[in-house]
Amino acid sequence: MAIDFTLTKEQKELQKMARDFAQKVLKPIVKEADACPDPWKGFLMTKKAYEKAYELGLAYAFVPKEYGGAGVSNVDTQIAVEEICAVDPGFGCTLLVNGLGLMPLIWWGSEEQKKKWLTKATSDPDKDFIVSWVVSEPEGTANFDHPGKHPCGMQVTADYDKSRGEYVINGRKMWNSNATGWDQKGADINVVVARTDRSKGGKEGLSVLIVPRGTKGLRVEGILNKLGHRLTVQPRIIFENCRVPAENLIAGTEGNGDLAITKAFTWSGPVAGIAAVGVMRSAFETSLSWAKEYAAGGSQPIIHHQNVGYLLADMKMRIEAGRYLSWRAAHYLDQHDSEGMEAGALSKIYCGELSIEVINDAMRLMGINSYIKDYPLEKHMRDALCFPIYDAGNMGMQRRRLHGIMAHESYNPMALAQNLRQQFVKAMHGIDADPGHAVAGVTGKGKRRECASVSS
């Protein structure tokens, strides 16, 4: 059969390995790290678990085999990520961002760049090599594809110094997971999207550069103290005349930084989706166990009440729907070289927003006890609230991407259902970024408005 949800022997082994890691290595540190009032100290508590994940191949399994990775498929990634995120999605985010940072290098890098940087990532004797995807900015990132020249859209600049053959990076970034590294001197590889041409808009002026750990001019300025996902770390970082050689510009991304952003967040869409499924799954299992044991002062456990049974059934249906949408999106990416922008966005949006509904139902079932830290549901809700707003927020970026795809004259509503390749093109960018500005390939007329000056 062409459609088959049966896991292979290898996938079952991967699932067991990821589950054993999550339950035996990660779970024992989660409660203390999550409760730590200092987010930096909480993050450092995960280092041993990260080293074990690295040793097991979980940190860089997505890297092709010729560069030292396992070359796993997107579907295989789903299987492992669900097990990890069922225990803690913050730690899962740390692993995810390694992929967000390196996938643009895998897609667009030269052979020389791949051999240099990917091999470093997969052959670290200390087993703590970490990568950051440095895109988000304090002023906002949603309008990275704004048609206006600097300072519209992305604020961080990388000006080319021809005399020295270097790019000089200046500006501020924020929310960039892993960008601290383990010592607040930066990740081992910081993959930075910056404006390399100030005179052009977001569809032409952005590129992607590699900034190695310890590069002069890169500074961490404070750690963000978050509501949930507390086992992963996000800083404020500053670039002050930070110089990198010209060969650190990822070869095929010059002027295509917008496509790198979109494709990277497409790759991560189903991963974020299945992360939400993992959290929903844990919330469901907690509430199911509670319902089978708690009598609420009655003569028998509340599972015997119709309302409780129906509520649990509704939760389970939504979890299964989310899982298979994430699997489908991942399978589509595997079939089409990660050109699955619609599928990636659909799975990310749906599962993230669904997780809040499911966990809310779990809390309603459990009652007021779910609101105290003695039980895990309050943590699940704190973690779930992040899903709709991180990893290219559902309103600011993901839905806008879908809007651009669907508004384009080439859109085929049945492409995903029929497994037909649907190429994302630059004309799909820019919609909603500058209201009134006409977008090529999109039906309708508009008048471009000049961008007001914004302080960087």
Q: Which residues are catalytic?
A: 391
Contacts of 79 (CB under 8 A, 6+ apart): 7, 11, 14, 15, 18
CA dist., res. 87 & res. 408, Å (int): 40
Strand partners, 208: 193
The DSSP code sequence of 313-344 is HHHHHHHHHHHHHHHHHHHHHHHTTT--HHHH
CA angle 345, 279, 296 (to 5 degrees): 135
Cβ atoms of 384 and 356 within 8 Å: the answer is yes
The DSSP code sequence of 376-421 is THHHHHHHHTTTTTSSS-IIIIIHHHHHHHHHBTT--TTTTTTT--
Side chain identity, residue 247: E
Q: Which of 16, 101, 18 lies closest to 63 in space, CA to CA?
A: 101
User: Is 15 exposed, middle or buried, given 0-12, 13-18 or 19+ CB atoms closer than 10 A?
Assistant: middle
Cβ atoms of 381 and 224 within 8 Å: the answer is no
Residue 430's SS3 state is coil
Rounded to a whole number, what is the distance in angstroms from the first to the last CA of the chain?
Answer: 55
CA dist., res. 343 & res. 297, Å (int): 47
Cβ atoms of 281 and 86 within 8 Å: the answer is yes
Whats the size of the chain, residue-wise? 456
Residue 65's SS3 state is helix
Q: What is the CA radius of gyration of the chain?
A: 22
Region of residue 254 (left: phi > 0; alpha: psi -120 to 50; beta: else):
beta
Place of tokens 């000006």: 159
Instruction: Work out whether strand 131-134 and strand 189-195 pair parallel, antiparallel, or are unpaired.
Output: parallel
DSSP state of 374: T
CA dist., res. 345 & res. 118, Å (int): 27
